Chains A and B, each alone.
Chain A
Amino acid sequence: MSMTATKMLARDWRGGELGVLVMALVLAVGVVSGISAFTTRLQNALEQESHRFLAADLVVTSGRELPLDWSRSASEKGLQHALTLQFPSMVYVGEESMALASVKAVTDGYPMRGEITYSTEPFGAVRSADTGPGKGEVWLDSRLFALLDVAVGDKVTIGDAQFSVAAAARTEPDQAASFYGYGPRVLMHYDDIPATGVVQPGSRVEYRQLYAGETAAIGEFQQWLEPQLRDGQRAVTVDEGQPRIGSALDRAESFLLLAGSLAVVLAGVAVALAARRFSERHHDYVAIIKSLGATSGTVNRLYGSSLMLLGVIATALGCLMGWGIQALFFSLFAEQLPIQPGPSGVRPYAIGAVTSLTCLFCFAWPPLRRLAHASPLRVLRRDLPMENRQAIYDYVLGLVAVTLLMWWYSGDWKLTLAVLAGLGLTAGLGFCLALTLLRGGRLVGMSAGSIWRLALAGLQRRGTANALQVVIFAMAIMMLLVLLLVRTSLIDEWQAQLPSDAPNHFMINIGPEDVQAIEQTLRAENITSEPFFPMIRGRIMTVKGEELPVTDDVEEGRRQREINFTWSDTLPHENRLVAGEWWQPGTEEALVSLEEEFAARMGLTVGDSVSFLVGSAPLEARVASIRQLQWQSMRPNFFLVFPPRLLVDYPATFMTSFHLDEADKGFLNRFIRRFPTVTVIEMDIVVEQIRTIINQVSAAINLVLVVILAAGALVLIAGVQASVDARVHESAILRALGASRRLILGGLLIEFATLGLFAGTLATLAAELSVYILQTMVMDMNYVPTPWLWPVGVFSGALVIGALGVFSCRRVVSTPPVTVLREL
């Protein structure tokens, strides 16, 4: 029997539907496993990447010296370790110049993750190093060269010790997250600390012990360490990487999962259609072998084994394709990822195989299983109706399978729901609409010419089948439109967030007396900057009259802490009110506007009272509004905004951000010489990095879109094929009766294009619904209606389906009608 099965498969390839079935399976497996391998590896790489921001895997910090036996026992456990100490200190050059710096002393092992960068001259070309300065050397922040008027090779003094300036310090992997408050960086060797004599008990210092090693060993060590931590000692592990890249990648991941889910649905539909057609074409075969004595068990075994064989081949090819897709993605990323992503493991391919099995079992098997019930009487009566009774049950099975797969795959029920809502709308509305419209066609069409009469009569004769076809076309088009829309808005939004002239430098600590002079300087140099924001540093003390706890344990939680405020009469650019109202300009009321997450963390809502300490002066205010910020933008953002009148008496400095091209960085040297008290923070390397990653993610997304387009095209092809047999047969008869080529092709074109028009209209409607749900509930974006979608959706539907239909039926005019009639 197996011989017959393979033979049958080989010969039936010609029918076309097996090709579609296998392609659909291959695509489903390929896209699903490719995308999940890609995201697994990307997450893996990003996690490693985020270790860079700690310079280690685990860090213990404290204001006081940390026990050294911890480091010793870490060594025994096979972990690497390093020490750093950070403290503020004056740096002198002889008697004449000095500056307050933030000194960081590091041991030779530092950093264990990521790298330090330096340059041989201030703001010069960036190089990377595995370790910091040697003993007796310091690396100075580029700004300090100008402030202290030194060059590489000169001597500087810190406390009692003299050091020679070896390089300009540019970046460290674990550069302090909050850059406010500290002065420019000086890097030195850990062993030189005693010689300086500046670190005394009670100085404002931060000790760090850094550990790195195998994930399991680190986890073990952390468990051993944590119970021993005392007050003021904190163990820190990896955060969620950098938030800016993080949120872009989160959305990219949502998009990829959405794409994968849609691929599953599309492939499922294509498989179902192909299997259905395959089964219809095999009804007669089954009748013959049953008349020859095959039982339904034999038939089931025959088709079951054929299907298994196809499934195995398709799954293998699909996994290969998946591997190729992720390899292609990574070849796009390779240069951007500082760390080689680890292998993805077999899980993605297992997911692909499960998808394939599910598609086979829930979409392909039901129509084939019905073959076993085909009546052998068909050998005598070919007009006997086929066994299609269980169709409703099949749809339910398919729907449940698709829902579960999508949910399992994306792990996001909202996303699943958004897609299902679109599909449901298409199916429900589509079926009613299609049925009524196709009925109504009779009135319009009968007066038209003979091509139209032919086409409309054709549409009407197969009313229900056509309605089903319209729904399937609409679903496929809808999913493609959804993906296209989400992709476009995603990429647009990213591009808008980081235009090529996005600010890449911050300037803080600007004294009020310098604001005007700096504005003038920037203008003279043709540098565009954001507005100058006043900045006041204060401490949040009480919330709703209740005093907040004083503790260092919680980094971001509910506690007394230092925050930066600003004031403004108007709602800052790109901020959005989510609660309350913005105040009248010039108000004298004691009001404050809070950032959404900050308000949530502190448990504050509109109308609550909150109090602060600015310097030693208290400040009380009532929460007037809550805002949402665009953290992605490289503009100054503030948790708290007050009305200007309220803060006039408090000491303020100003800040701004501006864009500076790589080539113009020499400006900074001049600028710092002129305004030595202003702190300039360079973000250009980070911004550039984000931009490249976003470009690569965009490229990956476009690639996925292409793959999904292919899946969509398959569904359309399978859908068209479903009705080709009947149409070819009728057309062959018409040809035999003398109808011209033009009449037949014209009729077919009108018939299919009309179906496409209905499908396109429905699809566009449903796509808008899906995208609305997706953007507002899943992707955390703003929904914007897209008028261009309508012409695109509707006409591309008519065009593509019309063309596909005519193409699939072309053989009816290219071969003599006898051949066609004989083959059917």
Chain B
Amino acid sequence: MIKCDNLQKRVPMAGAELAILKGITLEIKSGESVAIIGASGSGKSTLLGLLAGLDEATAGSVVIDGTDLGALSEDERARFRGQHIGFVFQSFQLLPALTALENVMLPLELQGQNNVEEQARHYLQRVGLQARTGHYPLQLSGGEQQRVALARAFASKPAILFADEPTGNLDTTTGEYIIDLLFELNREEGTTLVLVTHDQVLADLCQRRLRLDGGALVQE
């Protein structure tokens, strides 16, 4: 369960301060799927980054399953992410130096797990890329890269999956395929899903929608 209370983010800007998030309070239950929507620049990515423990809040708190992220050091948050959180990004964020298989194995290796390769192969097969395991990201299309990213995200069996515009760089057909895959895996693994999107179709598939406007939540 994710609980966030009066979450604020301000950055210094040419002498003055720019308030990006102006006190966000929300709760997301385990297994729930939530879409964060809003205009460009409204603070969606910033909120996602804070919820996932990628960034530190200026004020307020984020508590995930009883762990206050604000009380953790950067390294403790990294470990926490490794254990509980998975990501899918708009720009895929695969490591170009590693093959598809190695990219999927990476988070498992970071957790120090055994039979890493077997698990990674399983998830690559799950996203239909068993034939492309030895390819490097630059040799894959955008859709294929995003499928590798999905396999990587689910391979570490996260409790919560964060996705920032997972279809933003893809055409409609490929996007829909990715969306189907995402929700299918989500159902199978029972993951909590928090995603940021401009895509109305994707937003509508979620159980709940949160709209951001100028750094504050507004009623749907």
Contacts and interface: CB of A to CB of B under 8 A. Distances in A.
A699 interface: no
A295 B53 CA distance: 13
Contacts of B96: 11
A380 B81 contact: no
Contact of A296 (B74, B94, B164): B74
A297 interface: yes
B79 A379 contact: no
Contacts of A823: 138
Contacts of A288: 93-95
B164 A292 contact: no
Interface stretch (B105-113, B186-194, B204-212): B105-113
B102 A7 contact: yes
A290 B93 CA distance: 12
Interface in A380-415: 380-382
B70 interface: no
A292 B75 contact: no
Given A294-B78, A294-B110, A295-B79, A380 B95 contact: no
Contact of A379 (B82, B89, B109): B89
Interface in B45-102: 45, 48-49, 52, 54-55, 74-75, 78-83, 85, 87, 89, 91, 93-98, 102
B109 A1 contact: yes
Nearest to A1: B109
Contacts of A379: 54, 87, 89, 93
Interface in A165-179: none
B97 A11 contact: yes
Given A379-B89, A380-B54, A293 B78 contact: yes
A377 B74 CA distance: 12
A217 interface: no
B81 A8 contact: no
A100 B189 CA distance: 115
Interface residues of A, number: 29
Nearest to A373: B74
B72 to A, nearest CB: 11
A693 B85 CA distance: 73
A673 B80 CA distance: 105
Contacts of A1: 109
B210 to A, nearest CB: 17
A379 to B, nearest CB: 5
A308 interface: no
A44 B107 CA distance: 58
B106 A292 contact: yes
A119 B94 CA distance: 83
B97 A12 contact: yes
A297 B89 CA distance: 25
Interface residues of B, number: 35
A450 interface: no
A292 B89 contact: no
A184 B78 CA distance: 91
A292 B55 contact: no
A295 B75 contact: yes
Given A291-B87, A379-B87, A296 B49 contact: no
A292 B110 contact: yes
Contacts of A382: 91
B54 A291 contact: yes
Interface in A1-28: 1, 3-4, 7-8, 10-12
Nearest to B85: A293
Given A296-B74, A297-B75, A376 B54 contact: yes
Contact of A295 (B45, B78, B106, B107): B78
Given A296-B75, A376-B54, A291 B81 contact: yes
A653 interface: no
B66 to A, nearest CB: 19
Report whether over half of chain A's contact residues are helix, strand or loop; otherwise say mixed. Answer: helix
Contacts of A298: 110
Given A1-B109, A377-B49, A380-B48, A293 B75 contact: no
A8 B52 CA distance: 27
A289 interface: yes
A290 B87 CA distance: 11
A376 B89 CA distance: 13
B54 A7 contact: no
Contacts of A292: 81-82, 87, 106-107, 110, 152, 156
B78 A285 contact: no
Contacts of B48: 380
Contacts of B164: 380
Nearest to A8: B97
A291 B79 CA distance: 10
Contacts of B95: 8, 285, 288-289
Contacts of A8: 95, 97-98
A375 B52 CA distance: 13
A297 B79 CA distance: 11
B106 A289 contact: yes
A10 B102 CA distance: 14
A293 B110 contact: yes
B110 A289 contact: yes
A381 B11 CA distance: 14
A294 to B, nearest CB: 5
B45 A381 contact: yes
A510 B121 CA distance: 101
A285 B98 CA distance: 11
B97 A377 contact: no
A7 B98 contact: yes
A293 B82 contact: yes
A7 B103 CA distance: 12
Contact of A377 (B54, B107, B111): B54
Contact of B107 (A3, A284, A293): A293
Contacts of B49: 377, 380-381
Interface in B106-163: 106-107, 109-111, 136, 138, 152, 156
B30 to A, nearest CB: 20
A4 B109 contact: yes
Contacts of A11: 96-98, 136
B97 A7 contact: yes
Contacts of A10: 97
B89 A293 contact: no
A375 B109 contact: no
Contacts of B91: 382
A45 to B, nearest CB: 50
Nearest to B98: A7
B45 A4 contact: no
Contact of B55 (A7, A296, A377): A377
Contacts of A289: 95, 106, 110
A294 B89 CA distance: 18
Given A292-B82, A293-B82, A293-B110, A4 B87 contact: no
A297 B75 CA distance: 8
18 contacts: A1-B109, A10-B97, A285-B95, A288-B94, A291-B87, A293-B79, A293-B83, A294-B78, A294-B110, A295-B75, A296-B74, A376-B81, A377-B49, A377-B54, A379-B87, A380-B48, A381-B49, A823-B138
Interface of A: 1, 3-4, 7-8, 10-12, 284-285, 288-298, 375-377, 379-382, 823
Given A11-B96, A294-B82, A295-B79, 17 more contacts: A3-B102, A4-B102, A8-B95, A8-B98, A284-B93, A289-B110, A290-B78, A292-B152, A292-B156, A293-B78, A293-B111, A294-B110, A295-B75, A376-B54, A376-B81, A377-B55, A823-B138
- Which 5 pairs from chain A and chain B are nearest by CB? A293-B82, A11-B97, A295-B75, A292-B107, A295-B78
